[in-house]
Structure 1
Amino acid sequence: MWKIRPPVEYAMEAKYRPFLESLVPLDPITLLKVKRRSPEEEFPSLDGNRTVMASVLTLGMYKRQYNRATDSGVMFDDIIRPGLEDPGQSSGPVSVGCVAGDAQSYILFCHFFDRIIEAHQGYNMSGNQESDFNYDNLKGGDDFDREYTLGCEVRVSRCVEDFSFPTHCSRGERRQLHSLAKKVFGQMGEELPGALVSLGDLHQSMLGEGLTVETATDIRIKTGVARDWPDSRAAWINKEGNLVVWINVEDHLQLVSARRDSNIKEAFESACIHLQKLEALYRESRHSFIWKQHLGWVVSSPAMVGTGLKASVHLQLRHLPLHKRLGNILERLRLHMDTTGSRGVFKISNAQTIGFTEVEFVQMLVDGVKLLTAMERALEEPEGSIDHLVPAQK
């Protein structure tokens, strides 16, 4: 028995409803003949999984995303595959554990990706992202203490409109991206001279100090990024050899500007100039870099959206890494310290990539490295203390 009034049936509406419903676009997943059982039966085992993905994903969230697919066929299981293939170790850095297959993934699976970005980067997804490549706004970065700083790097990722990301793109898409890169880099001109080299022909000797040849790592193979390696992968290297743009590796493009003299101001300036030139040329080719107002520059990893920028300085430290307050200090500075294979040299980088502009992130790194250097000097003194140097809570 109806508890509310039954819906009114109109004769013409009833007659034409089947036709009207036939015009509604089908969700792409209804066109896929995937042999799957219920979400409860397909839900992955997350026991012992240390990724951010595992900390966010619940059965309810999985069920909500289960019957969805992007126009290019990316399903939710494709999104979480990296965290299942590499669940992380009991110690060491925690990986994000997921990757987008295309730009639409961030829209269709936004409930999941927004939580991932908030958990991994400590950023409230209700805001809008801004971009700033005016390197003249950066204060310092060319005045580090060379006794402690041993090198620096600025790494920026970009993806191109109308193409799936490396984990999901077809062989033809990857080759088309390679052809597009040949066209664009051929137009760089004499003002920004360089050479485009296929990855199969690239040797370490062609790269400057601080740059290494990209390889098909185990995790890239497991997640599909390294399919057909090194087919349609390439590197554009500038004349000086201290800047390289990787094509079809982690993202469609990844620019790396490295210096051995720790002058991150120069490294950032070079990255900005080349990046803005590339953006203009790709836009002229009707393939702009992907930008969304609430996400900023969209790339395959949610750990890199916003600016797509990771700036880092190699810092030689003996006393500070042993200090009990180091973790809290880094958190307040919004910095990350990589201790892998350090031997007393630690890679200091921005912990976030979203929520601030490119210039602001590099400025945080510059100011943070100077403060960490001052702390190291203070601890070298007998009975040295850093209490007076600890920054206020962020």
Structure 2
Amino acid sequence: MPFSSTHNKHKLKFSAEEEFPDLSKHNNHMAKVLTPELYKRLRDKETPSGFTLDDVIQTGVDNPGHPFIMTVGCVAGDEESYEVFKDLFDPVIQDRHGGYKPTDKHRTDLNHENLKGGDDLDPKYVLSSRVRTGRSIKGYSLPPHCSRGERRAVEKLSVEALNSLEGEFKGRYYPLKAMTEQEQQQLIDDHFLFDKPVSPLLLASGMARDWPDARGIWHNDNKTFLVWVNEEDHLRVISMEKGGNMKEVFRRFCVGLKKIEEIFKKAGHPFMWTEHLGYILTCPSNLGTGLRGGVHVKL
């Protein structure tokens, strides 16, 4: 199931009631918000690039979720999705992000000097530390909706930008299609590379189309600063190292991310950002800073 296509104009011959998905056994934020009335109001709308309501919700329709784990159940196909389908996205975001209202303004603090502590996590238990985020390049559709040409353009822009990094960030790009199966698996096992597209959430949203075309990983020479290209987001920026010095991991993350953003902006390709949502990403769960930190522990 590489792609669940919802682009069928014949569906408009049927009423909204006839096309409304069966969400009776679903446990995700989309299913919690979407009503027959809302579906009817939004089903004829589409973004300038052609992303529709059915595209937004398909991954949540195909993946009901887990009884004890509330998944999101919807994705954006471009920057405009969050505005065109705001009547769905706003309540999902509010529910998923602890009451974040449509009138709220996002605040981001990526000054690593403001982080207190975190440089001495117990090495007896902490094997490695990592911080990651995602970024989207303005003017291009997001992975659930981008064309082959768009995806390749994103890869080209990204490689040019990343290859200009210097000092501790100097590195090189490794396209997926140039790797052997063994090389890919080794990078996955070492927690450097994203998994192969086997996740139903990834597949049903359309993010795995044309795999592995225009996907790859860039990393610095020390393998402590990595960027995934064209997986769930245009870019996934990761800082990681062995041991428990999260403070150093976060410093490298903030400095490297700032350098990348400046390079893209200077080239005329800023990242997607709004005052309300912060940095715009494919999944509503990652909006804002898109920041996640974690440690690999030995129990």
Confirm whether residue 158 of structure 1 aligns to residue 140 of structure 2: no
State the partner residue of 1:23: none
What TM-score do you get using the length of structure 2 for normalisation?
Answer: 0.89
User: Equivalent residue of 1:303, what SS?
Assistant: helix
One-letter code aligned to 2:133 = V
State the partner residue of 1:341: none
Residues 1-394 of structure 1 correspond to what in structure 2 (within 5 A)? 33-36=9-12, 37-91=14-68, 93-125=69-101, 126-190=103-167, 192-202=169-179, 203=183, 205=186, 209-219=190-200, 220-315=202-297, 344=299
Deviation at 1:213, TM superposition (A): 4.2
The higher-RCO structure (CA 8 Å, 6+ apart) is 2
Deviation at 1:96, TM superposition (A): 0.5
Whether contact under 8 Å (1:79, 1:101) holds in the other structure is yes
Deviation at 1:270, TM superposition (A): 1.2
Q: Return 5+ residue gaps in structure 2 as ranges.
A: 1-7
One-letter code aligned to 1:139 = K
Q: Matched residues in 2 for 1:33 and 1:85: separation? A: 20
What TM-score do you get using the length of structure 1 for normalisation?
Answer: 0.69
Q: Matched residues in 2 for 1:260 and 1:210: separation? A: 11
One-letter code aligned to 2:11 = K
**CA displacement, residues 328-347 of structure 1 (integer Å, 9 cap, x when unaligned):** xxxxxxxxxxxxxxxx5xxx
Aligned length: 285
Q: Matched residues in 2 for 1:212 and 1:172: separation? A: 23
Whether contact under 8 Å (1:208, 1:242) holds in the other structure is no
> What's the RMSD between the two structures over aligned residues?
1.9
Deviation at 1:226, TM superposition (A): 0.8
Q: Return 5+ residue gaps in structure 1 as ranges.
A: 1-31, 317-343, 345-394
**CA displacement, residues 155-185 of structure 1 (integer Å, 9 cap, x when unaligned):** 1000010000000001110011111112212
Q: Matched residues in 1 for 2:40 and 2:194: separation? A: 41
Deviation at 1:206, TM superposition (A): 5.9
One-letter code aligned to 1:62 = Y
One-letter code aligned to 1:70 = T
Structure having the higher Rg: 1
One-letter code aligned to 2:90 = D
Whether contact under 8 Å (2:163, 2:171) holds in the other structure is no
User: Equivalent residue of 2:295, what SS?
Assistant: strand
| Distance change in 2, residues 1:137/1:158 (3 Å) | same
**CA displacement, residues 125-174 of structure 1 (integer Å, 9 cap, x when unaligned):** 22101222210110011122233433322110000100000000011100
Whether contact under 8 Å (2:122, 2:244) holds in the other structure is no
